[in-house]
Chains A and B, each alone.
Chain A
């Protein structure tokens, strides 16, 4: 079993739709949960991070973590064609020093006008 599972998609939605992207994980030591966005032929860049359980909102983006279910989500409201990218979840145990990041496979999202 992989430490982090993520459906690779692709996911195709019309402009304005609400998008839900998800990851599950098996390591209960994970404390930091991140979403990276990767545009085609570019490197990933950090979109949001959350510590432990709960929600975090940033504009049209909301990250949710449910540690009891080992399940994290990223919601995109009023999706735009510019949101078309691959979204990778990533997790680490934290606690200072070097913290290995474990990445999901990434979900490819296409938002069409």
Chain B
């Protein structure tokens, strides 16, 4: 199993550009998540999905969009990139019906908006 994979690893965007961060998991997990991690701020939940076709906002959803057409894939779309979106983005997945919600993380995408 590859686990959770993310592409690209690094990206530099100009203000106003758009891009899609890709995330895929091969563990047949129902739940998937997108977080951003800023220095000293921990992980902030952007969006999550409890299954194909079902998504919901997390703590910091503004400026982002998601879709979940399959169990495996959960892309994150940035429209009109802003410097405040400079961050490291992590995708994660977890199995349903496990109370302690162990989340498996991808290696992250480092995004800089200039």
Asked whether B31 lies within 8 Å of A98 as measured between CB atoms, the reply is yes
Asked whether A8 lies within 8 Å of B108 as measured between CB atoms, the reply is no
Q: How far is the CB of B111 from chain A (nearest CB, A)?
A: 14
Q: How far is the CB of B25 from chain A (nearest CB, A)?
A: 12
> Which of A31, A88, A92, A101 has the largest number of chain B CB atoms within 10 A?
A101
**Complex alpha-carbon distance, A32 and B103, angstroms:** 13
Q: With A6-B42, A88-B42, A100-B45 given, is the CB distance from A45 to B105 under 8 Å? A: yes
> Which residues in chain B, 23-70, are within 8 Å of chain A measured between CB atoms?
31, 40-43, 45, 48, 50
Asked whether B99 lies within 8 Å of A96 as measured between CB atoms, the reply is yes
Q: How far is the CB of A64 from chain B (nearest CB, A)?
A: 16
Contacts of B42 in A (CB 8 A): 4, 6, 88, 103-106
The SS class assigned to the A binding surface is loop
**Complex alpha-carbon distance, A63 and B96, angstroms:** 25
A59 in the interface, Cβ–Cβ < 8 Å?
no
- Stretch with Cβ within 8 A of B (4 or more), from A13-21, A36-44, A65-73, A75-83: A36-44
Asked whether A51 lies within 8 Å of B100 as measured between CB atoms, the reply is yes
Q: With A43-B90, A88-B43, A106-B42 given, is the CB distance from A94 to B100 under 8 Å? A: yes
Asked whether B107 lies within 8 Å of A99 as measured between CB atoms, the reply is no
Q: How far is the CB of B101 from chain A (nearest CB, A)?
A: 4
> Which of A32, A44, A46 has the largest number of chain B CB atoms within 10 A?
A44
Asked whether B102 lies within 8 Å of A46 as measured between CB atoms, the reply is yes
**Complex alpha-carbon distance, A101 and B100, angstroms:** 9
A1 in the interface, Cβ–Cβ < 8 Å?
no
**Complex alpha-carbon distance, A3 and B43, angstroms:** 13
Q: How far is the CB of A105 from chain B (nearest CB, A)?
A: 4
Asked whether A92 lies within 8 Å of B45 as measured between CB atoms, the reply is no
Name A43's contact: one of B31, B41, B100, B108 (CB within 8 Å): B108
| Contacts from A to B (Cβ < 8 Å) | 4, 6, 8, 31-32, 34, 41-46, 49, 51, 88, 92, 94-101, 103-106
